[in-house]
């Protein structure tokens, strides 16, 4: 085996270099090119002559040159191998990515260098695609991260076994777990939810979402228990997360705190369904419960009882003692009503002084009447309100499903109708609905529209009831009393329509008509030369408080030309006591105009004597309820004589109302009552008859012993 000579080996190296696909560039110690193999020339795109003698560094793209030179210097100083990636400035001006490796050669110093030149254009372009993709991914992740941390909802993800894989800031705050601590833990540990009503652990929606591969909402009324035990109502949903192949790989939970909105909703519901003053269910809630109760009773073949309650004379108390006392009384009534029923029954305030009791399941009608009896009994005891001992009684109407109606509206309406009959039957009692009770609501509405028409078409008339001096029997005055000449019904008495006119506000124009008519008529009599007596006119509460009242009276007097001294206004105690200070102001103004003032139905109100003394009153009209039994009932006799004595002391004219018998008359005369009004002397008379009485001069009213 022969050994190869060294020269032959060198030749071989040269050939290898010439044939190599790798560019090889040989430089001298200055970096000037002394040799470039074909691969190098190809990469540089130059022929050898263009390369030789030139500094290899001048071929580097100017942008990359500083970096390349800096690295070159470092490598040279530290005698390290040099390796750099940079762009080559090709002859045609284009750039090509290359990698350079350099090694020293020669026996130096100084040393020359051998540089290998590798075309890395392909790799570079693959790199840049990757980098763009990476950047896009990063941006996407960043965007998701920022979004997840800035939205108000908590977001939490799990893997298939149900361990937490991610949570955003809100989720951290709401669960009380930091992301670092939570990740990898079972969801049930981090996201603890319980049923708001039962307090039991609630099913976790993430498992369901993964299992059924669909978005699921959380059960209503769900509560999240934070790590520290604090609870918050939440609303949430869970959705499965899929991989590229569409397989479920986890779940995402999105939830938020609804404690406030839920509390608000609860509050709103309560407000919408309860009476503000008493806290009792209101009409809306009652209607709902009644419908439920009827549905249930229908299935179980049971009955439902409905009691419609109205307080007797509440308006009176409210007017005389003021709204504050009225409100307190209503509260106290509410408590009493509650004490009379079972917890399953509903006591509701219908509005004003009306209450309804729903007996949700009864076996017999007697179950309802028994409750009504109990109510009447409980209300027979006085209620102590603000130092006042108040006696309020109830008028109760009862109707029962299914007998009196098979739907909530009818049952309700019929109980209402029965209640009006209880009122009509003297109050403080209950009435069962009967088919023949006509619906008062319809009647009222009819009357109201008829009254409007009556005003337009002048269907009202005044009757005049004489007032008599009990000593002399002389005619001293008359009370104007309204009647309605209805074309269909004939003459309608005030009890039938004045309360409705009062409630609807129609009493204001009607009252004005009455006063104008009374003044006009009296002036006509006066102008005809008849002997005239003062006429008294009844004033309702609403008229008295109407802001145009004083001006209205003045205008009527001016228009008719009647002397104010011939007009007396009758007001009840409750009207005056409602706002005693304001009343006194109006009374003083009326007095200043020259009119007379009378207190009507005296004894039925809640007058305080000290106030009465402050009002400029001319006349006390003792209510007929006291006169009725004055000859037979010692109590009434005592009261009446006290009232007469009081009036006389206050220098007031005392008129007894409703004098019907000679016995009553004798008693009143013995007590020195000034005057009387009643059937004993005369019924109210039409204008023609009363005019005749005035014309007659001598009065036809026989007064025994006068
Ligand atoms: P009132 O002001 O107390 O009038 C007296 C009522 O007693 C009148 O009833 C009269 O007819 C009746 N009466 C008179 N004498 C007797 C008697 O001896 N026995 C009996 N049982 N009753 C007697 P009327 O006319 O039905 O009026 C009832 C109420 O209607 C009046 O009570 C008054 O409150 C009201 N009213 C009448 N006219 C008007 C009016 O023009 N305006 C207003 N706001 N109310 C009026
Ligand atoms: Mg009167
Ligand atoms: Mg009266």
Residue nearest to atom 38 of ligand 1 (CA): 481
Same domain, yes or no: 619 and 667: yes
Instruction: Output the domain CATH number for residue 292.
Output: 3.30.70.270
Probe target for ligand 1 pocket from 516, 543, 657, 676, with the most ligand atoms within 8 Å of CB: 657
Same domain, yes or no: 252 and 272: no
pTM for the model: 0.48
Ligand 2 mean position, distance from CA 596 (Å)? 14
> What pLDDT score does 425 carry?
76
Strand partners, 421: none
Give the list of residues 6+ apart from residue 109 with CB closer than 8 angstroms, or none.
29
pLDDT digits (tens, 9 = 90+) for 236-267: 889 999 988 889 999 999 998 888 887 887 88
Who lines ligand 1 at CB under 6 A?
465, 481-482, 493-495, 498, 507, 511, 514, 538, 540, 570, 600-601, 624, 657-660, 677-679, 684
Ligand closest to Cα of 513 equals 1
167 phi/psi in degrees, rounded to 5? -150, 145
Ligand 1 mean position, distance from CA 492 (Å)? 13
**Domain range for 215:** 153-257
Give the list of residues 6+ apart from residue 505 with CB closer than 8 angstroms, or none.
542
* Domain closes at, from 240, 257, 274: 257
Ligand 2 mean position, distance from CA 570 (Å)? 6
* Domain closes at, from 372, 403, 436: 436
Instruction: Output the domain CATH number for residue 671.
Output: 3.20.20.450
Residue 387 lies in a domain: yes
Ligand closest to Cα of 604 equals 3
Ligand 3 mean position, distance from CA 629 (Å)? 16
Rounded CA separation 330/347 (Å): 13
Residue 446 lies in a domain: no
Same domain, yes or no: 293 and 413: yes
Same domain, yes or no: 177 and 276: no
Same domain, yes or no: 618 and 503: yes
Instruction: Output the domain CATH number for residue 229.
Output: 3.30.450.20
Ligand 1 mean position, distance from CA 480 (Å)? 9
Q: Measure CA 280 to chain center.
A: 15
Residue nearest to atom 21 of ligand 1 (CA): 658
Residues with CB under 5 A from ligand 3 (ion): 600-601, 657
Probe target for ligand 1 pocket from 455, 481, 570, 664, with the most ligand atoms within 8 Å of CB: 481
Residue 312 lies in a domain: yes
* Domain closes at, from 111, 146, 181: 146
Residue 90 lies in a domain: yes
Residue 453 lies in a domain: no
Residue nearest to atom 11 of ligand 1 (CA): 684
Same domain, yes or no: 269 and 216: no
The three-class DSSP label of residue 59 is helix
Ligand 1 mean position, distance from CA 406 (Å)? 42
pLDDT digits (tens, 9 = 90+) for 38-67: 999 988 888 888 889 999 999 999 999 999
Residue 1 lies in a domain: no
Same domain, yes or no: 413 and 539: no
Residue 445 lies in a domain: no
Query: Which has the closest alpha carbon to 475: 675, 683, 620?
Result: 675
Same domain, yes or no: 546 and 637: yes
510 phi/psi in degrees, rounded to 5? -65, -45
Rounded CA separation 432/434 (Å): 6
Probe target for ligand 1 pocket from 316, 451, 494, 624, with the most ligand atoms within 8 Å of CB: 494
Tally of domains within the chain = 4
Residue nearest to atom 33 of ligand 1 (CA): 538
Residue 444 lies in a domain: no
Beta-sheet strands, E only, within 494-566 = 535-538
Residue nearest to atom 7 of ligand 1 (CA): 658
Q: Which residues of the chain have pLDDT under 50?
A: 1-6, 700, 705-706
Same domain, yes or no: 588 and 676: yes
Same domain, yes or no: 279 and 318: yes
> What pLDDT score does 700 carry?
47
Ligand 3 mean position, distance from CA 600 (Å)? 5
Task: Provide the CB-side half-sphere exposure for 438 (13 A, CA).
Answer: 6
Same domain, yes or no: 124 and 243: no
Kindly report the three-state secondary structure assignment for every residue of 424-451. HCCCCEEEECCCCCCCHHHHHHHHHHHH
Rounded CA separation 76/108 (Å): 13
Same domain, yes or no: 481 and 622: yes
């Amino acid at each position: 085996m022969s050994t190869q000579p060294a020269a032959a080996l060198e030749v071989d190296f040269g050939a290898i270099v010439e044939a190599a696909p790798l560019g090889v560039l040989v430089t001298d110690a200055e970096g000037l090119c002394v040799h470039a193999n074909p691969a190098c020339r190809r990469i540089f795109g130059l022929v050898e002559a263009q390369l030789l003698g030139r500094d290899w560094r001048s071929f580097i793209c100017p942008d990359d040159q500083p970096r390349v030179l800096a690295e070159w210097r470092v490598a040279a100083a530290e005698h390290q191998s040099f390796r750099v990636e940079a762009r080559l400035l090709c002859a045609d001006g284009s750039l090509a990515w290359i990698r350079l490796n350099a090694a020293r050669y020669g026996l130096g110093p100084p040393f020359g260098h051998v540089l290998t030149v590798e075309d890395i254009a392909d790799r570079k372009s693959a790199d840049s695609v990757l980098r763009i993709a990476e950047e896009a991914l990063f941006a996407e992740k960043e965007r998701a991260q920022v979004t997840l941390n800035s939205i108000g909802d908590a977001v939490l993800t799990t893997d298939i076994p149900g361990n937490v894989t991610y949570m955003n800031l809100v989720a951290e705050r709401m669960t009380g777990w930091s992301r670092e601590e939570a990740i990898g833990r079972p969801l049930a540990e981090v996201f603890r939810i319980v049923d708001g009503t039962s307090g039991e652990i609630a099913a976790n929606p993430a498992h369901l979402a993964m299992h059924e591969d669909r978005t699921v909402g959380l059960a209503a009324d769900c509560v999240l228990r934070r790590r520290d035990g604090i609870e918050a109502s939440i609303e949430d949903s869970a959705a499965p997360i899929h991989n590229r192949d569409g397989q479920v790989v986890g779940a995402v939970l999105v939830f938020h705190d609804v404690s406030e909105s839920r509390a608000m909703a609860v509050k709103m519901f309560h407000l919408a369904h309860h009476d503000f003053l008493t806290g009792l269910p209101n009409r809306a809630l009652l209607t709902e419960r009644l419908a439920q109760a009827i549905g249930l009773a229908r299935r179980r073949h049971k009955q439902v009882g409905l009691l419609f309650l109205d307080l007797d004379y509440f308006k009176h108390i409210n007017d005389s003692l003021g709204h504050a006392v009225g409100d307190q009384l209503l509260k106290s009534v509410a408590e009493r009503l509650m004490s009379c029923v079972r917890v399953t029954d509903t006591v509701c305030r219908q509005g004003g002084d009306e209450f309804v009791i729903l007996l949700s399941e009864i076996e017999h009608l007697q179950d309802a009447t028994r409750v009504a009896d109990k109510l009447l009994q409980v209300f027979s005891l006085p209620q102590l309100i603000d130092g006042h001992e108040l006696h309020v009684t109830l008028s109760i109407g009862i109707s029962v499903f299914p007998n009196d109606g098979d739907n909530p509206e009818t049952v309700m309406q019929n109980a209402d109708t029965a209640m009006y009959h209880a009122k009509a039957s003297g109050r403080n009692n209950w009435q069962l609905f009967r088919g023949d009770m006509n619906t008062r609501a319809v009647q009222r509405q009819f009357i109201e529209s008829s009254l409007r028409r009556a005003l337009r078409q002048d269907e009202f008339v005044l009757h005049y009831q004489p007032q008599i001096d009990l000593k002399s029997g002389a005619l001293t005055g008359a009370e104007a009393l309204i009647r309605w000449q209805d074309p269909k019904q004939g003459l309608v008495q005030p009890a039938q329509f004045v309360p409705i006119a009062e409630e609807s506000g129609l009493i204001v124009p009607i009252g004005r008509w009455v006063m104008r008519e009374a003044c006009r008529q009296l002036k006509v009599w006066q102008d005809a030369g008849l002997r005239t007596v003062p006429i008294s006119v009844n004033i309702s509460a609403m008229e008295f408080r109407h802001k145009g009242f004083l001006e209205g009276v003045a205008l009527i007097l001016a228009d008719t030309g009647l002397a104010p001294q011939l007009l007396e206004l009758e007001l009840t105690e409750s009207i005056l006591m409602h706002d005693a200070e304001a009343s006194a102001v109006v009374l003083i103004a009326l007095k200043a105009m020259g009119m007379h003032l009378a207190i009507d139905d005296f004894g039925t109100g809640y007058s305080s004597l000290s106030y009465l003394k402050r009002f400029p009153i001319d006349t006390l009209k003792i209510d007929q309820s006291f006169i009725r039994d004055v000859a037979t009932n010692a109590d009434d006799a005592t009261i009446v004589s006290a009232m007469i004595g009081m009036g006389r002391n206050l220098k007031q004219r005392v008129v007894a109302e409703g004098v019907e018998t000679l016995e009553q008359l004798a008693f009143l005369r013995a007590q020195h009552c000034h005057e009387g009004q009643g059937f004993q002397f005369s019924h109210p008379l039409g204008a023609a008859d009363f005019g005749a009485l005035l014309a007659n001069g001598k009065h036809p009213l026989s007064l025994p012993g006068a």
